[in-house]
Amino acid sequence: MDRTLPPGLSASQLDAALKEFGRAIGDEWVLATDLDRDTYLDHFAVDEAAHAPSAAVAPLTAEQVQQVLRIANQHKVPLWPISRGKNFGYGGAAPLLKGSVVLDLSRMRKIEFDAENGVALVEPGVGFYDLYDYIQQNKLPYWTSVPGNSWGSVLGNALDRGVGYTTYGEHTARLCGLEVVLPSGELMRTGMGAMSDSPTWNLYRYGFGPSWDQMFVQSNLGVVTKAGVWLMPAPESMIGLDLELDNAEDLGWAVDVVAAMRRDGLLQQSPSIGSWLRGAAVLTSRKEWYDKPGALPDEVIAAIRKRFNIGWWSISLRLYGYEPVNEAAAKIIQAQFAKQTKKPMTVTRWKQGEPLNPSPGQAAFAGVPITFPLANAAWHGGRGGHLGYSPVLPANGQAALEQFHRTYDRYREFGMDYHGSFAMGERCIVNVNQVLFNKDDADMMARVGQFFRALVADATEKRYGEYRTHIDYMDLVAGSYDFNDHALRRANETIKDALDPNGILAPGKSGIWPERYRSLRK
Amino acid sequence: MAAPQSAQVLDGRDLYQHRCGMCHQGIGMAVSLLSRRPGDTSNGLLEQRKDLAVEFVTTVTRTGIGNMPRIPRGEVSDPEMKAIATYLAKGGQ
């Protein structure tokens, strides 16, 4: 098999660079065997080889990251930074540009904690479990907010606009102050951190003048080596309000009811209205239910709902904070739902002093890290995987229903099992759909790409853009952001070329291509 | 949280908990999937298995198996992997 190389570089040119990386960070942390390369492939990829790296390097400190970037500039080696590489469904550890060298930051695991202000200053290798353990061991009165796959990096998840389940669930909004190595190798701090030794680096977001934290989110303009992350003070009380919605059409009014309480602030957390497959795909395999290809028929959907005693949609609201405030809010929320359905909400209560031993399904609401939802990749049997299709919609019931029907019809047209949810933001809905597949089913895999493109085309026609996507589709999604003939992309690439003239950092990430590789845009 | 160094004596149990426990302990993804396998007698817990050899653990961890993705050396170094595999091969002793 031919060795994978960066575009335009010979094996000896790459080897010369790898040798220098080794001098800077230690030869043992230049990972360039065939096996090493394979370990950074995307486990969920439709085509793993399309994103094969040429090697990986794993520095331990920001100084070493600086050296790696300087060497990469000298040798024109493209790098693909990963925090912990667990961004499954979006590319995992694999680089967009085949032949890139993975810059693996998972050895950087330092945590500094400001207990007075509830701010963790974390390095990229710090996972949600690490931060949770640190808080438990030090008996700190704070809760983490965790995503459905908490194996990954706290910083990396926030930099990809990942979400959790508590009032701090919009992770990128809780970032405050970054330390960044620019493509040149220069170290920079954002916000108040631009003043050396500032005590407010991680307390005030903006600093003076332009504020750049979001410039390094979903971008390829720097390598973030530290981030301030705000944490939720441990609440006095948590109240759960759960409801099963019997009909697919109930989505419309449910969205409108929740949208109003997100807008006026009654509900501070972002609940997700999810379909019947969400739990079933985690807890069971498809063959227990149905042994034929094509989308699951209605009678099977009914059987799944019956076994798990769930609705067509399930919705879980959570209140955090002082007990009397939560009780008052819960009363108003129940009254709002009662205007639409006779079905009562299931109420659960927890308060400080009681043991917090949440069941698996409840763990993430209490900020306890979880990985079990990843089991849904095994839904079909065989080597599983999934893709996320996540357009952003207005927070409007009619818009949500129309989008649901469009998407549901596409799933059936392509013979795939519908797995959708509507996450309610303050002014919008992020409509996260998972495409679960079986890599050992050639017929199914041949449909995945066409299916995904059809979904994106449907959203684009309605002028809905995706909030996040897999490395296979970054050009496709970036291309849909087309105002004034892609003026934003031109601006992004002007900045890219200015900061990264050699185009070494994550070429193609989020559809942003440096001049050197721009012809590779798909 | 001291990062284990190759020069130090590596504690397989501690490493297993911190590098593998998120999926292979408690309510982790792997516990759920392995416990569903026909004939499972270990409740999906690798520490209760008596049939795990060092070479097997090392190989499937680096090459991936089923739902488990490959684990790079950047995340778990060779000496760390050896300590973890040895711990599991001894039935979690």
* SS3 assignment, position A225: strand
> Quick one: closest CA in B to A129, which residue?
B22
CB count in 10 Å sphere of residue A224: 26
| Average pLDDT of span B8-17 | 92
Fold of B11-89: Cytochrome Bc1 Complex; Chain D, domain 2 (1.10.760)
Residues A161-178: what's their mean pLDDT? 97
Instruction: Please state the rounded mean pLDDT for residues A443-467.
Output: 97
Mean of the pLDDT values across residues A158-168? 97
- From the list A109, A360, A383, which residue is nearest B1 (CB)? A109
Instruction: Using the predicted structure, report yes or no on whether residue A371 has a pLDDT greater than 80.
Output: yes
Distance separating alpha carbons of residues A144 and A152, to the nearest angstrom: 13
Q: What was the pLDDT predicted at B63? A: 96
**pLDDT value, residue A435:** 95
- Phi and psi for A225 in degrees, rounded to 5? -110, -15
pLDDT value at B7 more than 60: no
Contact (CB<8Å) B69/A43: yes
A95 close to A116: Cβ distance less than 8 angstroms: no
> A40: nearest CA in chain B?
B72
In this prediction, residues A112-130 reach a mean pLDDT of: 98
B27 touches chain A (CB under 8 A): yes
pLDDT of residue A1: 57
Say how many CB pairs under 8 Å bridge A and B: 88
Distance in Å, alpha carbon of B71 to nearest chain A alpha carbon: 6
Regarding an ipTM greater than 0.90, the answer is yes
Q: Is the pLDDT of residue A13 over 80?
A: yes
A36 burial via Cβ count (<10 Å: 0-12, 13-18, 19+)? buried
Q: Which residues pair with A365 in a beta bridge?
A: none
**Distance from C-alpha of A294 to C-alpha of A44, rounded to nearest angstrom:** 21
**For A22-31, A392-401, B8-17, which range has the lowest pLDDT when averaged over its residues?**
B8-17
Residues in chain B with CB shorter than 8 Å from the CB of A133 are 1, 18
Answer whether A378 sits within 8 Å of B67, measured CB to CB. yes
A90 classed as catalytic: yes
pLDDT of B2 reads 46
| pLDDT tens, position by position, A249-299 | 999 999 999 999 999 999 999 999 999 999 899 999 999 999 999 999 999
Report the distance separating Cα B15 and Cα A66, nearest Å: 29
Query: Taking CB atoms and an 8 Å cutoff, what residues of chain B touch A373?
Result: 29
Taking the Cβ of residue B49 and every Cβ of chain A, the question of whether any pair is shorter than 8 Å is answered with no
Q: 217-256 in A: which are within 8 Å (CB) of B?
A: none
- Cβ atoms of A85 and A106 within 8 Å: the answer is yes
- Cα separation values, A409 from A74, A290, A415, Å: 52, 20, 10
Nearest to residue A211, comparing CAs of A197, A193, A224? Answer: A193
Question: Per-residue pLDDT for A7 more than 90?
Answer: yes
Give me the residue label for tokens 């019947």.
A276
Sheet with strand A101-104: strands edge to edge: A30-31, A55-57, A101-104, A79-82
Q: Indicate which of B19, B20, B73, B76 best probes the interface with A, i.e. most A CBs within 10 Å of its own CB.
A: B73
CA distance A393 to chain B (A): 31
A108 contacts B3 by C-beta, under 8 angstroms: no
Nearest chain B residue (CA) to A112: B1
- Residue A53's pLDDT band, with cuts at 50, 70 and 90, is very high
* B65 close contact with A: CB closer than 8 A: no
Q: Which of A147, A91, A153 is nearest to A124 (CA)?
A: A153
Q: Give A-chain residues touching B18 at CB under 8 angstroms.
A: 129-130, 133
| CB < 8 Å from B in window 276-315 of A | 282-283, 285
Q: Report the relative pairing of strands A187-189 and A111-114 from DSSP bridges.
A: unpaired
Q: Name the one residue in this structure whose structure tokens are 């704070």.
A: A142
Domain residue spans of chain B: 11-89
- Is the predicted pLDDT of residue B6 greater than 90, yes or no? no
Q: Alpha-carbon torsion A393, A395, A398, A400, what sign?
A: positive
Candidates B23, B35, B70: best to mutate against A (most CBs of A within 10 A) is B70
> Which of chain B's residues have a Cβ under 8 Å away from the Cβ of A84?
75
Q: Where are the alpha helices (DSSP H) in A97-223?
A: 128-137, 154-159
DSSP A319: E
What's the mean per-residue pLDDT of chain A?
Answer: 97
Helix (H, G, I), strand (E, B) or coil at A87: coil
Which of B14, B17, B24, B32 to probe the A interface (max A CBs under 10 A)? Answer: B32
**Spatial distance between the Cα atoms of A128 and A155, rounded to a whole number of angstroms:** 9
**For position A336, what pLDDT does the model report?**
98
pLDDT band at A91 (very low <50, low <70, confident <90, very high): very high
Name the active-site residue from A467, A473, A489, A516.
Answer: A467
Split at pLDDT 50, 70, 90, the class of B14 is very high
Looking at residue B8, its pLDDT comes to: 65
B74/A363 touch (CB, cutoff 8 Å), yes or no: no
Predicted local confidence at residue A255, as pLDDT: 98
**From A90, A132, A142, A168, the catalytic residue:** A90
Active site residue A467: yes
Provide, as residue numbers in chain B, all residues whose Cβ is less than 8 Å from the Cβ of A283: 32
pLDDT at B1: 44
- Look at residues A143, A116, A512 and name the one whose alpha carbon lies nearest to residue A358: A143
Catalytic pick among A84, A286, A468, A516: A468
Task: State mean pLDDT over B38-50.
Answer: 94
pLDDT at residue number A395: 98
For residues A336-346, give the mean pLDDT.
97
Mean pLDDT of A345-362: 91
> Residues A122, A503: contact at Cβ < 8 Å?
no
